[in-house]
């Protein structure tokens, strides 16, 4: 059993709150399993009478919820020039992430002796949660896992920089000779329009570092 909630955020005039609540049985407590904070400027659908999406809804949307999530992960993996980019509206947080990823790859290309290879893979490991609104559009909530690996050149030693958030998992004193690794979780809220409704809207995109280290 699931439902989606919407509310203002105390002290914030720029963002609103969307939440997904779930419980396993009628006797279980409701648990908040997903939160998003879209900007107040985002055009949110009417959330009255939303219902959980079913397989029969897939054909009525520009993309089924699972397909939309997979396409978004592929977009992040390939970057701004991905063919998937055209399916989504612009989002400042996504643009910033892709710029950072492109910077890592460009730096590696300029210094191949130091950085043997950089990979940044984005995947969705858990099926998205989706709700259909009265307008026929679907609200899709998904978590994208990012696995970053930077292979280190021969005779070089690297560490995560002091003061960086990665040192919460790997202290600056820890030295690695083969690779640096990092894992982030990105929570995304998408609005998938009904057929003929245009692009998939990225309502919110929030990131959290969950692991860093190397070998």
Residues 21-37, mean pLDDT to the nearest whole number? 92
In the chain, % of residues over pLDDT 70: 100
d(CA 192, CA 45): 11
Nearest-CA neighbor of 2 among 18, 17, 21, 19?
21
Neighbours of 123 (CB within 10 A): 14
Residue 94 tokens read as: 């996504």
Q: Identify the pLDDT of residue 132.
A: 96
Decide if pLDDT at 148 tops 90.
yes
Res. 45 pLDDT band, cuts 50 70 90:
confident
pLDDT digits (tens, 9 = 90+) for 110-130: 999 999 999 999 999 899 999
pLDDT tens-place string over residues 154-212: 999 999 998 889 999 999 999 999 999 999 999 999 999 999 999 999 999 999 999 99
Pick the closest to residue 115 from 123, 126, 103, 124 (CA basis). 103
């Amino acid at each position: 059993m699931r439902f989606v909630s919407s509310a203002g955020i105390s002290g914030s005039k720029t963002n609103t709150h969307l939440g997904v609540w779930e419980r396993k049985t009628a006797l279980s407590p409701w648990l908040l399993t997903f939160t998003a904070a879209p900007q107040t400027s985002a055009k949110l659908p009417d959330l009255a009478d939303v219902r959980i999406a079913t397989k029969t809804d897939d054909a009525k949307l520009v993309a089924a919820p699972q397909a939309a999530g997979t396409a978004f992960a592929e977009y992040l993996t390939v970057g701004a020039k991905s063919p998937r980019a055209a399916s989504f509206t612009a989002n400042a947080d996504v643009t910033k992430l892709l710029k950072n990823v492109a910077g890592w790859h460009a730096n590696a290309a300029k210094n191949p002796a130091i950085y043997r290879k950089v990979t940044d893979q984005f995947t969705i490991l858990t099926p998205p949660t989706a709700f259909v609104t009265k307008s026929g559009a679907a609200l899709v909530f998904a978590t994208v896992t990012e696995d970053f690996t930077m292979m280190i050149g021969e005779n070089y030693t690297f560490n995560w920089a002091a003061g960086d958030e990665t040192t919460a998992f790997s202290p600056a004193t820890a030295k690695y000779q083969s690779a640096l690794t990092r894992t982030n979780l990105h929570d995304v809220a998408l609005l998938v329009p009904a057929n003929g409704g245009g692009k998939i809207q990225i309502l919110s995109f929030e990131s959290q570092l969950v692991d860093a280290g190397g070998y």
